[in-house]
Amino acid sequence: MKQYINPPKEEWESLLTRPTKSVEVIEDTVDEVFKAVQEHGDKAIKEFTLKFDGVELESNIVSQEEIQSALQLVSEDLKIAIYLAKTNIEKFHSAQKTSKVEVETMPGVLCWQEKRPIQKVGLYIPGGTAPLFSTVLMLAVPAQIAGCKEIVLCSPPNKEGKIANEILYAAQLCGVTKIIKVGGIQAIAGLTFGTKTIPQVHKIFGPGNQFVTVAKQLSTKYGVAIDMPAGPSELLVMADESANAAYVASDLLSQAEHGSDSQVILVTTSQNFANDVSIEVNQQLEALPRKIMAEKAIANSKSIIVDSNEIALDLINEYGPEHFIVATTNNDFFVEHISNAGSVFIGNYTPESAGDYASGTNHTLPTNGFSKAYSGVNLDSFQKSMTFQKISKAGIQNIGNAIELMAEAEGLQAHKNAVTLRLNDLINE
């Protein structure tokens, strides 16, 4: 990890740049795939699956036989672990339920808000080098709690034309209604336009590579909502000499092994600690099965040494990390004042991997600085807030004149008439 000591504030923007391709480089490919899927449906899906995933499928729909087979092939120990994680995720997301909000704004004018589920949702589950069955839990569990009627899961097939057994097991456990063997841009395009085999959905969820991220953003042009822009994973650790260098190094590497375009950053007030972490990173890296991939990510990562917690906080808020670990003598300072982060992990015994799997919080989080404006996935992500109002005769008399005056001032005579007719009828009763 390259060290930077007290970088001046005017250099922070360039220093904190993510190692991602520009949208312009990716957009042409995404546009090409979207247009083909829109025009040719499943035929285009099949061609792109062969091109990008290297497999030709007779059918891209996962059968009940495949699901039943997967259930037998997942070990009992892993099933127990998945069930534990599912239980904690259910507890945390069920606690996010809110009751109806109701208020009489003035006599006779009753307003209320209720949550209603999004009817059709699409869940994108990355496959490739690390099939993320944990993401199935993170997306399908809150979708089920929210009451979504159609939960469609898309995940890329491997070279044998299959989806990982663990993904199928988790999907079956969490109430997914349809599973499709399709990944990448073509999966997002299929969920956007709908094909004979892929249902069109109202909202798309899930992380992915840079191409998937841009594809999700393009889908919004066609009236489909998305959870957030969620691209390559990232982690920022704020630690001082009270932290454990080996723990910090393990956290940095846990994100680095996601992919070569992941980014990890250490911010610290101690150069000695930064040196200790660097040594630990190099030692632990040697034992990782995904060493080559993690090495590439570490090459894009940084160790930043600053003079104070206050400067560190400003820098962290400027970066807006997806995951933020704080392990210092004054964790409360950072917890109270952090403004931009997807999810926060506090103390020496709270590894980021706990949130990735089993603590109960959601691991689908905004990356690339989008935590400045976006929340991570939560129960509300799968719901809409609908407002209602009911006005009595007394109520329309109480607010009617105000409506008439405002409508007239805006030049909207029909709006005024809609009130005036009612008020006149009440006068003549």
Q: What residue ranges do the domains of the chain occupy? A: 2-20+232-360, 23-96+117-227, 392-427
* Prediction pTM value: 0.93
2-20+232-360 and 23-96+117-227 agree in CATH topology = yes
CATH fold of 392-427: 1.20.5
233 token code pair = 């994973």
Say whether 308 sits in a helix, a strand or coil.
Answer: coil
- 58 given a catalytic annotation: no
Per-residue pLDDT of the chain (429 residues; tens, 9 = 90+): 899 999 999 999 999 998 776 667 789 999 999 999 999 999 999 999 999 999 999 999 999 999 999 999 999 999 999 999 999 999 999 999 999 999 999 999 999 999 999 999 999 999 866 788 999 999 999 999 999 999 999 999 999 999 999 999 999 999 999 999 999 999 999 999 999 999 999 999 998 888 998 999 999 999 999 999 877 889 999 999 999 999 999 999 999 998 888 899 999 999 999 999 999 999 999 999 989 989 988 988 899 999 999 999 999 999 999 999 999 999 999 999 999 999 999 999 999 999 999 999 999 999 999 999 999 999 999 999 999 999 999 999 999 999 999 999 999 999 999 999 999 999 988
Task: Quote the tokens at residue 203.
Answer: 């909202």
Residue 363 is among the residues annotated as catalytic for this protein: no
**362 carries a ligand binding annotation:** no
Q: Which two tokens stand for residue 206?
A: 């899930």
Spot the catalytic one: 234, 323, 352, 363: 323
> Is 356 within any annotated ligand binding site?
yes
Residue 186 among known ligand-binding residues: yes
How many whole angstroms separate alpha carbon 289 and alpha carbon 145? Answer: 37
Choosing from 322, 336, 337, 408, which is the catalytic residue?
A: 322
Distance CA 374, CA 205 (A): 14
314 labelled ligand-binding: no
Instruction: Tell me the C-alpha distance between 259 and 294, whole Å.
Output: 7
Q: Is 389 annotated as a binding residue?
A: no
Report pLDDT digits (tens) over 371-429.
Answer: 999 999 999 999 999 999 999 999 999 999 999 999 999 999 999 999 999 999 999 88
CATH number for the domain running over 2-20+232-360: 3.40.50.1980
- Is 291:285 a contact under the CB 8 Å cutoff? yes
CATH code of the domain occupying 23-96+117-227: 3.40.50.1980
Pairwise CA distance, residues 429 & 420, whole Å: 14
How far is the C-alpha of 192 from the C-alpha of 122, rounded, in Å? 9
Per the annotation, does 323 bind a ligand? yes
Please report the DSSP string for 331-375 in residue order.
HHHHHHH--S-SEEEESTT--HHHHHHTSSS------TTGGGT-P
Transcribe 56-68 into DSSP letters. Answer: --S--BPPHHHHH
pLDDT given at position 127:
83
Q: What is the pLDDT of residues 207-241, one digit of tens each?
A: 888 899 899 999 999 999 999 987 788 999 999 99
Q: How many helices (H) and strands (E) does the chain have?
A: 17, 14
